[in-house]
Amino acid sequence: MPAQLSPVAPMRISDLCQAMEVYLSPTQTREVYRAYLFAAEAHEGQTRLSGEAYIYHPVAVAAILVQMRMDHHCLMAAILHDVIEDTSVTKIKLRQTFADEVVEMVDGVSKLTHLKFRSRAEAQAENFRKMMLAMTRDVRIILIKLADRLHNMRTLEVMPPAKARRIARETLDIYIPIANRLGINNIRHELEELAMAAHWPRRYQVMRKTLQRRRGNRREWIDDITRILSERLATDGLTAKVRGREKRAYSTYRKMQEKKCRFSELADVYAFRVIVDQVDTCYRVLGAVHNLYRPMPGKFKDYIAIPKANGYQSLHTVLMGPQGLPIEIQIRTGEMHVLAEQGIAAHWQYKGEREGSATADAAAKWLRSLLEVQQNTGDSMEFLEHVKIDLYPDEVYVFTPLGQIVELPRGATVIDFAYAIHSGIGNHCVAARVDQQLVPLRSQLRNGQAVEIITKQTASPKPGWLNFAMTGKARTGIRTYLKQLEVTEATALGQHLLEHELNCLGMQPEQVDPARRTEMLHELGYADLTELQQHIGLGNRSAALAARLLAFPKDQTRLSAPLSIQGGEGLLIHFARCCGPVPGDPIIAIFSHGRGMLVHHQHCPNSGEFRRRSKDSLEVQWDDQVSGEFHTTLRVDVGNQRGMLATVAAVIADSGSNIEDVRSEERDGLSLRLRFTLMVRHRKHLADVLRRIRALPQALKVGRVIG
């Protein structure tokens, strides 16, 4: 490992070159120095808030990456990482001077400063998406960004307190989870401590002092346990390094938050790490320590056989030590320890030697999932939402019917499992068997369960799935399908509406003059007829108006006959909940921008208001063949007697109607007002329900709510 470099003092290029020479060739070191000369000239005259020359920052970022032994191209990009964003140097000029590999890394780290955004949040989300997608092409980009953030956090004290807290919050929400997801724990731990110190300075100081006081009181005890463990392993012929592991302020604080307890109420767990040479030795050490101290039930985890989502591997066990104090022991090989500290960065150091390492495989899997989410996501804010979900993977491990392990975040449901297998399985799943038992799709999964998905080719995602889908992949898959379905239905509905209006005007679609159609589409700003039909179906354009523009010159108008409503048209025809129209009612449709048609009862007070405000109302009528059930609301005043709600509900159920919602309120102490939202097939069915309720002796007043 290169010499440890100071995290605070300004970094000189001579110190950086000396550290690089430990593992880079002289030619590679000279290339990094050439990048330094270019960056120093570009940043000439620029200073940081601390007053020091700006060039010290990119050199310090490169120094952090030198500690990870990153390659010379990565170090060059680190030194150049701010020249596109903060100087007059363009990407074209940079490409004329340095290799494409270096330029693409610099561009991946640079923010989108040349674009205008509606809000700061949108700008942050788009910059985040740009960086994450660049990372999928070259993971070194995120390593540069993490090093950049680490140095900024180390020098955060010069920032105004409000800005420092904002940067610390962003670090906690985004950069620390990314470091964790890629297994780069040495950077993650330092970022956690720095972010806590900036965001909760008083809590951090109190926590540090408390930990230092406890550590001092137990120092001798920790040394004794370290000695006892080392002697026992040596007696069993096992070569290992044993060291006590210090607790950190942030991890302790987070544990207090999770358990909702005070510091004094935390279990006084002392942690030790045992480093060995081979994997089989890990298990032999486990047996030795279990013979030395009694293991605590349910506290053993084998992350070697089943690595964490970020590739972390180790054996964890908790023992009941001397004086009844619990001891946590982590057992791993030296290689596992390097991977646990440096994550994907360690893989990059030994590229070619560690293909197939758990960390590299986990990172590659996550990066592939990022690409899939991006390809199916509508905008940067939605992308950020999905990635944030996947950045907190407190893992659950479940099994496919073939015995393959699937990693999911804690709280994941059957639907998340289905989409984790394949988006096609997710889109067509209807139920599942968990440990051979049928369960609904919203069932949460637990460690070790075996899950089998039951699919049906005609099944499709439902909007309600979004209420219990946890992973970004599942939520993206559901939303993508629903958007495609909406567009397909909108186009079909728009075609139907347009053809209907043309028929009412005495014209078939094929009779429309092509020149007139082209002119009208150009006037309305549509590329083709399909786009117009889609906008008609979505409610953004009136079918009646479009038909008149297609059929006649602008100064001619004709009335159209009512459109027939069948009740099962899909996502783009909605029935107003305020008046609950049912087949047989006089109705009118209002075009709602972006939602399609909203069907109201003609006597609904709201429909009159909508008609006055909207130019796109449409006369509609019920078709002779209506299908489905429809919401409507009844108001029932009854005598205030025990059991009246159950009595009325039983009458409604006996009439073949399903109650969706019920509310009650006491009026004058003598009577009770019940409001039922129920499902009926048509007005005759509704009349039958009303007749049965009115027949009750306790019924005082029964009526339907319209508006």
CA 418 to chain centre: 17
Of the candidates 48, 98, 45, the residue with the CA atom closest to the CA atom of residue 76: 98
What is the pairing mode between strands 563-565 and 617-622?
A: parallel
C-beta of residue 622 within 8 angstroms of C-beta of residue 628: no
Q: Is 85 a catalytic residue?
A: yes
Per the CB < 8 A criterion, the answer to whether 505 and 558 are in contact is yes
CA distance 470 to 33: 47
Q: What three-state secondary structure class fits 97? A: helix
Written in H, E and C, the secondary structure of 607-646 is HHHHHHHCCCEEEEEECCCCCCCEEEEEEEEEECCCCHHH
Degrees, nearest 5: CA angle 79-81-87: 105
Amino acid at 656: G
Q: Are 5 and 67 in contact (CB under 8 A)?
A: yes
The catalytic residue among 86, 101, 341, 623 is 86
The pair phi, psi for residue 326, each rounded to 5°, is -70, 145
Catalytic residue among 15, 41, 52, 85: 85
Measured CA distances, 555 to 549, 551, 559 (Å)? 9, 11, 14
Q: Which of 648, 624, 657 is nearest to 696 (CA)?
A: 648
**C-alpha–C-alpha distance, residues 532 and 550, integer Å:** 12
Kindly write down the DSSP assignment for every residue of 325-376, as one continuous string: -EEEEEEEEHHHHHHHHHTHHHHHHTTTTSTT-HHHHHHHHHHHHHHHHHHT
Quick one: which of 357, 363, 367 has its CA closest to 137? 367
- C-alpha distance from residue 618 to each of 322, 596, 599 (Å): 82, 12, 9
Could you tell me which of 383, 421, 372, 423 has the C-alpha nearest to residue 400? 421
The two three-digit tokens of residue 263, written as one number? 């510091």
Helix (H, G, I), strand (E, B) or coil at 530: helix
DSSP 256: H
Report the 3 state secondary structure along 286-317.
HHHHHHHCEECCCCCEECCCCCCCCCCCCEEE
DSSP string, 144-206: HHHHHHHHHHHTGGGS-HHHHHHHHHHIIIIIHHHHHHTT-HHHHHHHHHHHHHHHSHHHHHH
Token pair 């449409």 is at which residue?
618
Residues annotated as catalytic are 85-86
